[in-house]
Structure 1
Amino acid sequence: MTKDVLYLFLIGHVLGDFYLQSSELAINKNESFKILLKHSLIYFLSMICVSIPIFSFTILKWVCIISVVHFIVDLFKYLFKKKFATNDKIEALLYCSDEIIHILLIICTAIAIYILSEPVRYISCIQYLLSKLQINVINILSWILILLIIIQPFSITIKKVVYRYKPSTNEENGGLPNAGALIGMLERSIILLMLSAGQYAAIGFVLTAKSIARYNKIAEEPKFSEYYLLGTLLSTTLVIVAYLLIF
């Protein structure tokens, strides 16, 4: 059950910190304490919702602890940005540090539940369905988690990390709005499918196909080629690492 709890909490975190948090909310929570409280409440409700299959007072206690610590971490980030000026590099460091702390907190919570032998089980109706249908819950949770991660969180992470390397003269002339983000999502999805099927060599063809579309720009603009390569390698690395850690 420890792995079930861990994956459910991670899914709740991804939903609360990315999918249920609009771009406007993500920006304003660093400028308004009221918006920060709103985000924290949404995060808490997200954690509660994903915990329904294993809900108990024990789980509620740990959800409250995770949510409170999440708020404290975000509060420190809020106070830091209020006091100090930031640039793209600091923004990326703050973002990465923030997410690493949140994830480590959830991992430590799952370990604590295991060490303390806290009573955790699926509610009776869920348990009945699982036993009757012989469902592999861990496999389902693993796929839900990694699919959620490779779409929104990874897109934001890549943008935060490589944005400061983006050439100032780079204009997406003739390109479709937000096409790059969608291409990245499809690229990571295909790589994930190739990994799950054991077709590792096919990953190279995916990256080649992506490069062909930008061949002229890559050949003519060295700065753009480095920026493009950095984003592509980071995207691929994140998918592979996530797959190895989750599966």
Structure 2
Amino acid sequence: MVETLIALLFAHTVADFVLQPNWMVTRKRHPGVLLLHGSLVLLTAQITTGQFAALPLLTLALLHLMIDSVKTYGGFTGLTGFLIDQATHLVVLAGVALWSPSLWDTGLWTARLPDPMGAALPHLFTVGAGAILAIRAGGFAIQLLMQGHALSDKPEDNGLPGGGATIGHLERALIFLLVLAGQIAGIGFLVAAKSILRFGTISGDRKATEYVIIGTLFSFGWALLIALGTQSLLATLPPLEITAQWP
């Protein structure tokens, strides 16, 4: 069952955070755009599981559309709405995996891909889903959080366009990689480096300092939790024996 859940989770992260650009999010009240997103949810689930005529996947896409409709037309646009929306999607993914745990085992990839490639795919899906959640989803979550702490002149306003968001993506990517590599202590050096580099731009401005601290702590904490969750999910999979297959 865990492989099915991982395949569905990876499909969800791709559909929600990679294949859903800003124009789609802003126009989601239009039924056509909402249906397009639902179609992408179904397509990504079909591709990752290798199942193209499975009723559980169609049910998954319909439930995804229902959840998004409630969020969109209900006006739940803040961080709380985002977190509840994603948590509900995760519950649906788990429910579908429990309903049809053999989706992965009977799918195209299990039958067609020889080991070690077939055995490695769930591991790759897990890392991919974790990276998307840590980097892309984390960026959206921080943006929603910081809406409640808006400054008239943000610290990055005089810097590169989009520079702050890019820094956030990079720092969460580094934290994710450090945790998976077993080098959690390296996060401390990352915190110190960012503090030193930011000191000159916010020194003496209490509002800007607090703005940066809130965003940084949330960004680091988000990436750390996702990375630890990814580690835990990887631990549920059978270990890869690539050396045994390729002497």
The Cα shift of 1:133 comes to 5.4
Q: 2: CA distance between counterparts of 1:13 and 1:145? A: 8
1:108 paired residue number: 95
Identity of aligned residues (%): 24
Q: 1: CA distance between counterparts of 2:82 and 2:179? A: 28
Does 1:68 pair with 2:62? Answer: yes
The partner residue of 2:36 within 33, 38, 44 is 38
1:166 paired residue number: 150
Contact 1:9/1:50 (8 A) holds in 2: yes
Does 1:188 pair with 2:172? Answer: yes
Does 1:236 pair with 2:229? Answer: no
Partner AA of 1:27 in structure 2 = T
Correspondence 1:122-161 to 2 at 5 A? 122-123=106-107, 126-127=110-111, 129-131=113-115, 135-161=119-145
Task: Give the secondary structure class of the aligned counterpart of 1:214.
Answer: helix
Does 1:205 pair with 2:192? Answer: no
Contact 1:6/1:107 (8 A) holds in 2: yes
Q: Which runs of 5+ in 1 are unaligned?
A: none
1:47 paired residue number: 45
Q: 1: CA distance between counterparts of 2:193 and 2:116? A: 45
Task: Give the secondary structure class of the aligned counterpart of 1:167.
Answer: coil
Structure-2-length-normalised TM-score: 0.83
The Cα shift of 1:124 comes to 6.2
2:12 paired residue number: 13
Post-superposition CA distance 1:117-169 (Å, at most 9, x none):
x5651546644533365843432222122122222211111111222213223
Partner AA of 1:12 in structure 2 = A
Does 1:78 pair with 2:72? Answer: yes
2:243 paired residue number: none
Q: 1: CA distance between counterparts of 2:112 and 2:192? A: 48
CA change 1:164–1:132 in 2 (3 A) is closer
Contact 1:4/1:141 (8 A) holds in 2: no
Contact 1:146/1:242 (8 A) holds in 2: yes
CA change 1:218–1:174 in 2 (3 A) is closer
The Cα shift of 1:221 comes to 1.5
Task: Give the secondary structure class of the aligned counterpart of 1:131.
Answer: coil
2:201 paired residue number: 217
Say how many residue pairs are matched: 231
Structure-1-length-normalised TM-score: 0.83
Task: Give the secondary structure class of the aligned counterpart of 2:175.
Answer: helix
CA change 1:130–1:225 in 2 (3 A) is farther
Contact 2:7/2:49 (8 A) holds in 1: yes
Q: Once superposed, what is the RMSD of the aligned Cα atoms?
A: 2.3
Contact 1:166/1:224 (8 A) holds in 2: no
Q: 2: CA distance between counterparts of 1:6 and 1:67? A: 15
Contact 2:12/2:44 (8 A) holds in 1: yes
Q: 1: CA distance between counterparts of 2:132 and 2:109? A: 26
Q: 2: CA distance between counterparts of 1:192 and 1:125? A: 27
CA change 1:193–1:18 in 2 (3 A) is closer
Q: Which runs of 5+ in 2 are unaligned?
A: 232-247
Q: 1: CA distance between counterparts of 2:189 and 2:7? A: 34
The partner residue of 1:179 within 163, 177, 182 is 163
Q: 1: CA distance between counterparts of 2:117 and 2:60? A: 32
Contact 1:217/1:225 (8 A) holds in 2: no
Higher helix share: 1
Q: 1: CA distance between counterparts of 2:26 and 2:15? A: 15
